[in-house]
Amino acid sequence: MKTFFRILSFARPYKRFIPPYFIFALFGAIFSLTLFTFLTPLLNVLFGTVTEDKTPTIPYFSLSINYLKDYFNYYFHTYINESGKLGALKFVCWAIFASVLIANVFKYLSQKVLTAMRVHLLKNIRQTIFNKITDLHLSYFHNKRKGDLMSVLSNDLQEIENSVISSVQVLFREPIMLIGFFVLLCIISFKLTVFTLILLPISFGLIAEITKRLKRQAAQGQQLLGTILSVIEETISGIRIIKAFNAQKFMQSKFDVQNHQYSRTLKSVINKREMASPLSEFLAVSVLCVIIYYGGKLVLTEADSELTGSSFITYLALFSQVLVPAKNISNAVSNIQRGIVAGDRIFQILDEESNIKEVENAIEIDSLKNNVEFKNVSFAYQKGDVGWALKNINLSIEKGKTVALVGQSGSGKSTLADLLPRFYDPTEGEVCIDDISLKNIRKHSVRNLMGIVTQESILFNDTVFNNIAFGIENVTEEQVITAAKIANADEFIVQMENGYQANIGDRGVKLSGGQRQRLSIARAVLKNPPIMILDEATSALDTESERLVQDALSKLMKNRTSLVIAHRLSTIQHADEIIVMGKGEILERGTHQQLLENNSHYKKLHQLQSFV
């Protein structure tokens, strides 16, 4: 139940919900129970077991249930003497009507409070998960499928709403009703109630066994659903390739396998869940039959029994109502097990610790004064990796200088660039800005100094304006237009319908590759960072687009400290220093001309025109 209470903790502050809900639910239960207290006098009037000439006596006061019972009988008999049996019948009917009306008013008020709590709790969980996902380190996403994360934010939350949250009302209200019913049952016949309490645990034990099996299969079902969503996401993202390679049948078969497994598990889960209700009803009726026999025996054979015919009928009516909250509680426990499985998946994300941690009292910096330096840096993506992604890297980038990284794919270029904005921390050594280790600087402060343009333009399903102004507050239209002009993007933007307010579609699908890249550059221009990281920003473009983008990059890099991962000669010929990398190490370094004269690794790459 630890997961259950962790889920409920998102409803804080409790004082907004728990006290008013408890008050309304309590009064609702009291007036619901009051209804049944009028059954015995109603039956006595109808069956003629009370007389009008009976002289009632005022009971002696005492703090007991019997005093309340005797005082009601005194008042009721007095009313009969004054108004007759027909008047007493009318009084009981009005009392029942009033009890039901008031009870349902309080039920509505309690439900209203619970609805507010439900919406508040789900909003807090959803926001907390999203915040956690955006704060997690990059390596976490390398080991997770997007479908699983999407399933947590959608299906698992829906499961919690449908099971845990909807069961809160049952767990708060039904125990109050259950206790109230048993108090009334004890007042009517303590002996019969004790006998009843011996029988009930048998039925609850059988239902509990079904609940355990339900939890195991629910966990498997949620995992399979995440796999299905991953296949769907991959299919939608790669539909062009799927069609190009005539792989529709392959993907359909892959989906069919997962869909079949999920359907089979879901069917089993639903069958077990549905079994809980008829089984509990069958067990309850079986118990009721035993009680009818035992109680009837008390009425018929024991002359001094506290049970009369009318009180026994009232007892049976009350007990039939006991079955309702008991059944609701057993169903709620079954539902909660499914919600707990979903909650466990949510808390796996929330409990994930980031491996990029800030030291206490980390400092703020707002500018680059001297240089960026890699000191004896080695890096492995996971502990125990056989090979190092980077080995003993020593590199200094002076303020205002441009350093280019070249080498074959897998040589460690992108990994080295990812250490600078602290997407990862070095396994050994340290990365410094102005001789201050990045670990001693706030992450937000470090990344605020940097602009990044990657090979794949990351754009959002929003307007041109909002994509350029992404992450920057209080930006004017004039500033955005200026940044777009520097990036050679203004010309195509103004030709679009709605211009800067035009929506570019999912991931910028309405734009060409060169246009998307120039928007990314405009975004970096607007940020105006002192340090630029360019990760093969022109490698996927045609010649004309490359010329426009390269021109924009030249403007962007002017008077900035730049780290460029190069793919084409046009990007790096004028770099202040070129670093040739291979297998995570620096093989050689120098200017373009110096490296050509060395007649080594760089010259071979130059001859092959393979700058990846």
pLDDT at residue 163, as a whole number: 75
* Highest-pLDDT range among 147-151, 296-300, 340-344, 441-445: 441-445
In a domain, 50, yes or no: yes
Cα–Cα dist 183/175, whole Å:
12
Whole-structure pTM value: 0.69
In a domain, 180, yes or no: yes
pLDDT at residue 325, as a whole number: 76
Residue 509 half-sphere exposure toward CB, CA atoms < 13 A: 6
**First-to-final CA distance of the chain:** 53
| Mean per-residue pLDDT, 321-348 | 77
**DSSP states of 421-472 as a string?**
TTSS--SEEEEEETTEEGGGB-HHHHHHTEEEEESS----SSBHHHHHTTT-
What angle, rounded to 10 degrees, do the helices at 65-135 and 18-37 form?
150
Does the structure show a pLDDT above 50 at 611?
no
| Mean per-residue pLDDT, 224-237 | 72
Does the structure show a pLDDT above 50 at 610?
no
Does the structure show a pLDDT above 90 at 372?
yes
Q: Closest by alpha carbon to 611, among 574, 553, 550, 569?
A: 569
In this structure, are 436 and 567 located in the same domain? yes
Q: Which domain holds residue 462?
A: 371-608
Cα–Cα dist 71/311, whole Å:
17
The domain boundary residue, chosen from 321, 350, 379: 350
Give the long-range contacts of residues 190-198, CB within 8 A, separation 24 or more: 190/306, 191/298, 191/306, 192/291, 192/294, 192/295, 192/298, 192/307, 192/315, 195/291, 195/294, 196/287, 196/291, 196/319
Does the structure show a pLDDT above 70 at 70?
no
The domain boundary residue, chosen from 350, 381, 396: 350
pLDDT at residue 376, as a whole number: 93
In a domain, 151, yes or no: yes
Going by DSSP bridges, is the β-strand pair 585-590/436-437 parallel, antiparallel, or unpaired? Answer: unpaired
In a domain, 65, yes or no: yes
Helical segments of 238-247, H only: 239-244
Helical segments of 369-412, H only: none
Cα–Cα dist 137/419, whole Å:
12
Residue 106, both tokens: 């309080």
In this structure, are 78 and 156 located in the same domain? yes
The domain boundary residue, chosen from 320, 350, 380: 350
Does the structure show a pLDDT above 80 at 354?
no
Cα–Cα dist 267/135, whole Å:
37
Q: Which amino acid is at 212?
A: K
Does the structure show a pLDDT above 90 at 248?
no
Residue 595, both tokens: 């490296």
Residue 584, both tokens: 């995570």
In this structure, are 401 and 301 located in the same domain? no
In this structure, are 338 and 380 located in the same domain? no
* Highest-pLDDT range among 21-25, 242-246, 272-276: 21-25
In sign, the C-alpha dihedral spanning 408, 409, 413, 417 is positive
What angle, rounded to 10 degrees, do the helices at 39-47 and 18-37 form?
10
In a domain, 559, yes or no: yes
Residue 530, both tokens: 């002192």
Q: In CATH, what number is assigned to the domain containing residue 15?
A: 1.20.1560.10
Q: In CATH, what number is assigned to the domain containing residue 434?
A: 3.40.50.300
Mean pLDDT of all residues in the chain?
Answer: 79
pLDDT at residue 357, as a whole number: 82
**How many domains is the chain partitioned into structurally?**
2
In this structure, are 217 and 292 located in the same domain? yes
Residue 603: Cβ within 10 Å count: 15
Does the structure show a pLDDT above 80 at 421?
yes
Q: Which DSSP category does 307 fall into? A: -
pLDDT at residue 513, as a whole number: 81
Residue listed under structure tokens 């048998």: 202
Weakest mean pLDDT among 27-36, 461-470, 585-594: 27-36
In this structure, are 404 and 344 located in the same domain? no
Residue 197: Cβ within 10 Å count: 11
In this structure, are 346 and 380 located in the same domain? no
In this structure, are 309 and 343 located in the same domain? yes
Compare 158 and 302 and report the one with higher pLDDT.
Answer: 158
Q: Closest by alpha carbon to 172, among 57, 59, 22?
A: 22
In a domain, 558, yes or no: yes
Residue 612: pLDDT band with limits 50, 70, 90: very low
Q: Are 137 and 423 in contact (CB under 8 A)?
A: yes
Cα–Cα dist 117/450, whole Å:
42
| Mean per-residue pLDDT, 243-247 | 69
Q: Are 513 and 505 in contact (CB under 8 A)?
A: no
User: 3-state class of 589 per DSSP?
Assistant: strand
Q: Which DSSP category does 6 fall into? A: H
Percent of the chain topping pLDDT 70: 80
pLDDT at residue 204, as a whole number: 62
Q: Are 451 and 532 in contact (CB under 8 A)?
A: yes
User: What are the respective helix, strand and coil percentages of the chain, to the nearest 5?
Assistant: 65, 10, 25
In this structure, are 470 and 384 located in the same domain? yes
pLDDT at residue 375, as a whole number: 93
Q: Are 574 and 403 in contact (CB under 8 A)?
A: no
pLDDT at residue 277, as a whole number: 65
In this structure, are 551 and 450 located in the same domain? yes
Residue 235: Cβ within 10 Å count: 16
Residues 6+ apart with CB under 8 A from 376: 392, 393, 394, 428, 429, 430
Q: Are 366 and 147 in contact (CB under 8 A)?
A: no
In this structure, are 336 and 427 located in the same domain? no
Does the structure show a pLDDT above 50 at 247?
yes
In this structure, are 307 and 379 located in the same domain? no
Cα–Cα dist 136/126, whole Å:
16
In a domain, 310, yes or no: yes
In a domain, 16, yes or no: yes
